Amino acid sequence: ITPASMTIVFLGITIGTIMTMSSSNWLMAWIGLELNMLAILPIISKPKTTRASEATTKYFLTQAIASAMMLLSGTMNAWQTGNWSILELKNKFSTTIMALSLMMKMGAAPIHFWLPEVLQGTTLQTALLITTWQKIAPVTLMYMISNNIQPTILVSAGILSMIIGGLGGINQTQLRKMMAYSSINNLGWTITIMAFFPNMALMNIFTYIIMTTPIFLTMTNMSTKTLQNLSTTWTTSMTMTLSIALLMLSTSGLPPFTGFMPKMLILNELISQKLTTLATLAI
């Protein structure tokens, strides 16, 4: 890929996300997401391998289905209310379909199956892009309609994401798949609190992005893709190995690291809302 085409691709990704975040109309938000999706496909398929082609196809199909669901939801709501405004999503059925489509775009459980496979088939830099920047637009849309989504749907998907993210990461030796399950787990926390305190959900996702970025950059710098590789890096760079270990502990939410702060605030909010059982499940 030439520098000029790469510039166009990255402009597409940036403009698509910004367009979705700043729009108040479902059609404009949908166009932004489509632009974003079409721009990232050449980046995923850049390594000329069968795994990369497979990852590109999986990403395209899941995102296309999610976009179709989103358009269906917006159309049904406009049909009933005569309004395309994002904040006017009143129809319960439309709201449920919209929530599911956004979860699919993010890679939250139970529609998470594409995420570990896509990350495994791409480079570390592309995996970083998918787990961070690509989450911003769907999370923003979910934040905007959080008042209209039934809390039961968000909480059920959130708890399921936490469980699948936690258990799925245990059995992995591939670092990209581990990071994918870490992303699913973190989305679980974000979606759960979205039902009760949307601002805290935004804080949680941005804290996660800030912590995940240096992990991927360190792995790229050290050319590590498996746990086996990571366990031998201390011979070449002790500082890098220590940094990535501390960053991973922070991402997992262990006190006294930064990653513990949003989780503690989320648990505090759940307990103050008399949702002690939910808080216990989250722990």
Residues 136-157 have pLDDT tens digits of 999 999 999 999 999 999 999 9
Where do we find the tokens 């996660």? 208
Instruction: State residue 278's pLDDT score.
Output: 67
41: β partners: none
| 51, two tokens | 């795994």
The ranges of the chain with pLDDT < 50 are none
Task: Evaluate whether 157 touches 108 at the Cβ level (below 8 Å).
Answer: yes
| 120, two tokens | 């495994």
How do the domains of the chain map onto residue ranges?
Answer: 3-282
Q: Dihedral through CA 116, CA 120, CA 121, CA 122, nearest 10?
A: 100
Distances (CA, A) of 280 to 70, 96, 164, 186, 204: 33, 26, 16, 16, 19
Residues 258, 7: Cα–Cα separation, whole Å = 34
Closest of 29, 55, 41, 52 to residue 5, by C-alpha: 41
Distances (CA, A) of 135 to 26, 106, 131, 199, 245: 18, 5, 6, 16, 24
Contacts 24+ apart (CB under 8 A), 16-21: 16/137, 17/133, 17/134, 17/136, 17/137, 20/137, 20/140, 20/141, 21/136, 21/137, 21/140
Q: In angstroms, how far is CA 73 from the centroid of its own chain?
A: 21
Task: Evaluate whether 102 touches 153 at the Cβ level (below 8 Å).
Answer: no
Instruction: State residue 45's pLDDT score.
Output: 93
Instruction: State residue 282's pLDDT score.
Output: 63
Closest of 59, 56, 169 to residue 114, by C-alpha: 59
Closest of 259, 258, 278 to residue 268, by C-alpha: 278
User: pTM for this one?
Assistant: 0.94
CB atoms within 10 A of CB 50: 8
Is the dihedral angle over the CA atoms 145, 132, 251, 281 positive or is it negative? positive
